[in-house]
Structure 1
């Protein structure tokens, strides 16, 4: 009974709502905020996999300038095919804090899955599978943004199975020198326990941002000042960081 009540409470708090798109709230949150983004606004999809999120962005906000990043060769091929004919920049690379190459781990019998990660023990410990290793290129977002002459980012989505903090570290001084990233959507999950990344770590890196959990239907709950026992939950949840008071919008 206690476990049932706990799980129901988590879902009401925006945790473990992974089963359907409406429960996750991703498409609804894109309609709420990205649909009205200015023409040419930059959207970065880090960890695009086969392009489900990127397709939603293109459908909901065709006016934005979308850049999609995916390191898995198999998933990237599907991403490119899904984005064919659209004005989308697809980049076959992982995004992290150290440029070069890294080992990507995925299911041995299902390469290109949404579980692929640079965190070595996720496939075995979280998913109970057998991992296959592939070497992939790694880039930093600060270099990419400067090379592409991007002046600001409207929406940054990060879903990299436990290595979200590395993506933020790869922004370097862009986080502290006035470069504008309006909204940052991050999937936080049990993989973050393996990478030893607390939500508090992300909040410290994104000082000046408020943090919201995305609820079913795209509603938001501000957890910026919640007690740690209500914030540090290592289970599926979509978070939205913003410098604005989004609950008033």
Structure 2
């Protein structure tokens, strides 16, 4: 994995920053002994419940990367961070008064952390096989029509662009799939800046959302959803 890269950026003065870091969970930039030292006793106990060693290592690398990156943002030691959980289970940093919101995602051997001053969600997915049945059940009618209008050889990548964007919105809301994913629609007319164009949930305001697609690593798709009407300046880098 390369040391770093920059994504396309939008927005100038008054823009909300959304910073994303990506890292390998199979070959993280810190030794496991160091990363274990950053974790809480509860996190270590949770890691030890994994039956397969590779899944345990990946979970440790994901949590440790999150702690290291957040610590750098707030000027603390990784092992000093304390987390709480919102009403729907979404984690937040204790003692930060909402000034630093974050979201973690991991897929196979890749992790990603997004940080902003606005509420956000991030999702990354390994691009594998187009799941037509999943699209039919989980996507809106407009999204399915957009997929079906594409040439067959483009549908696989497009499926994962839609999926990551929708998952990022759900994670920003903190609902997961307790909110039906076909209750809102993402328009991918612009590949890098998809738009939330329809939402059927209480007090939905599609203008108060920005969605940004990014390429976390070859063979993966990624998206960030930020709850703001202001322009968004997205940066993507590697934890190194």
**Above 0.5 in TM-score?**
no
TM-score for both structures, normalised by structure 1: 0.32
Larger relative contact order (Cα-Cα within 8 Å, sequence gap ≥ 6): 2
